[in-house]
Amino acid sequence: MKVFMFHLMPYLYMDLEYKSKWRSPWVVMPNSEYDPVKGHELYNRFLDELEYAAELGLDGVAVNEHHQTAYGLMPSPVVTAAALSRRVKKARIAILGNAFGLREHPLTLAEEHAMIDSITGGRLITGMVRGIGAEYHSMGANPAFSHERFHEAHDLVIQAWTRPGPFSFHGKYFNLEYVNPWPRPFQKPHPPIWCPSTGSAETIEWAAHPDRKYVYLQNYSPVKSVARFLNGYREVAQTKYGYQASSEQIGWAAPVYVGPTDEQARDQARVHIESLFNKFLNLTFEMMFPPGYLSFDSAIRMATHKKQIMGSQTVESLIEQGIIICGSPDTVRRTLTDAHRFLGFQSFLALLQFGTLPRDLTEQNIRLFSTEVAPALQALTDREYMGFEDSMKAMAA
């Protein structure tokens, strides 16, 4: 298994009592709440944290994109990845993801990803996402055309990376007379493509398609949902597309906190993990699901799913549902090894800094996870996986 550290880079000085003033840290919280001096400190601290995880032997570090929110300070993950690209010497750098369809001109992202891939000698992983609903408010992008535009941006980028240029591209959204990017990506045919999602059927079907076979990464979900969606990917590959998906094609991302003992881990993580789920992740229905972003059925289903995740969580309820993994090195190792035996995922992303988690606890978490937990996970292969049929039986039981 490949093990990554994921960072959201939250503005953790956010006023946690914002609810009397603003409905959400997304879209509407005024940026006068952001202090550039503190921002300077945070960016450098967070980059240090990712570099530290890479030094301790994790397989990769991962960053993502969100706009106009205290939840995460990475409107351009390309900038974050570029800042990491010369300091992280061996580990992979994963942009999970970039919202290609939100851009007026996705070719600029194709160029930038090719640059990072070249600088790192082929260590980039490209995540392709539509962006969450709030992004459509922040960026003025039309949610009703989100799927179409994303798919067309994807096609343009893949062609730009693989077809000899110059060639012209004519779509509904993007029209270019010359597609001929310099540089081309270092990796052949292009960087691996991952699709992080919280479980949209459309994304799973799209990622699993035999033309793509992209890695599907399940985010922020009770472990039961993780099982449903990861097995859902394998099932779609088998029944809809007639091939057996490899375990390399699926991954799981979850917040992880490792402390000296189970009790200490819970106590140390408590207020910080609760701040993530109850404060930073607080979005209204209208922000999450602008019209057309999802089909009616998906919107209703996802709203139910989100309700399970956001709101009045405690560290205990998060552990209980398997949304986070928290405990002593033994507990965390056992939990993840068990999950792997059941689901077989070959990528795991640990969110090792979350909410208001301060520097010292984050460093302890990175150290304990990277040295006490990750090596056991990195040794896991398909031999330890129970297999798809047994997994489906276990899930049904």
Partner 1 sequence: MPAEPDQMIKVGDCDLHVRRQGQGAPLLYLHGTEGLTGIAPGLGALAQTFDLIVPDHPGYGLSGDAAAVDTMSDLAMFYLDVLDRMGLQQVHLVGHSMGGWLALEIAVRNSHRLASLTLVDSAGIHVQGVDKGDLFICTPEEGLALLNHDLEAARARLQASQAEADPRLLYRNRVTTAKLCWHPRLFNPSLARWLHRVQLPTMILWGENDQVLPPAYATALSGAIAGSRLVMLPECGHMLPFEQPGRFAQEVSTFIRSIAA
Contacting residues toward partner 1, per CB under 8 A: 27-28, 136-137, 140-145, 284-287, 290-292, 296, 299
Q: Toward partner 1, which CB reaches closer, 137 or 367?
A: 137
- In sequence order, which residues have a C-beta less than 8 Å from that of residue 247 and are 6 or more positions away? 344, 345, 346, 382, 385
Q: Toward partner 1, which CB reaches closer, 287 or 343?
A: 287
C-alpha span between 376 and 341 (Å, rounded): 13
The residue among 361, 360, 348 whose CA lies nearest residue 5 is: 348
The residue among 8, 25, 138 whose CA lies nearest residue 72 is: 8
Q: Toward partner 1, which CB reaches closer, 166 or 291?
A: 291
Question: Please, what is the minimum distance in Å from the beta carbon of residue 172 to partner 1?
Answer: 8
Question: Please, what is the minimum distance in Å from the beta carbon of residue 289 to partner 1?
Answer: 10
Q: Toward partner 1, which CB reaches closer, 34 or 173?
A: 173
* Beta carbons of 8 and 80 less than 8 angstroms apart: no
Question: Please, what is the minimum distance in Å from the beta carbon of residue 318 to partner 1?
Answer: 27
Q: Toward partner 1, which CB reaches closer, 137 or 341?
A: 137
Question: Please, what is the minimum distance in Å from the beta carbon of residue 82 to partner 1?
Answer: 29
Q: Toward partner 1, which CB reaches closer, 43 or 145?
A: 145
Q: Toward partner 1, which CB reaches closer, 282 or 365?
A: 282
Percent of the chain that is helix, strand, coil (3-state, to 5): 50, 15, 35
Question: Please, what is the minimum distance in Å from the beta carbon of residue 200 to partner 1?
Answer: 16
Exposed/middle/buried for residue 142 (C-beta within 10 Å: 0-12, 13-18, 19+): middle
DSSP 145-192: GHHHHHHHHHHHHHHHHHS-S-EEEE-SS-EEEEE--SSPPSSSS---
Q: Toward partner 1, which CB reaches closer, 26 or 169?
A: 26
Question: Please, what is the minimum distance in Å from the beta carbon of residue 306 to partner 1?
Answer: 15
C-alpha span between 195 and 250 (Å, rounded): 9
C-alpha span between 158 and 89 (Å, rounded): 27
C-alpha span between 317 and 228 (Å, rounded): 20
- Backbone phi, psi, residue 354, to 5°: -150, 145
The residue among 329, 356, 355, 343 whose CA lies nearest residue 394 is: 343
Question: Please, what is the minimum distance in Å from the beta carbon of residue 29 to partner 1?
Answer: 13
Question: Please, what is the minimum distance in Å from the beta carbon of residue 159 to partner 1?
Answer: 23
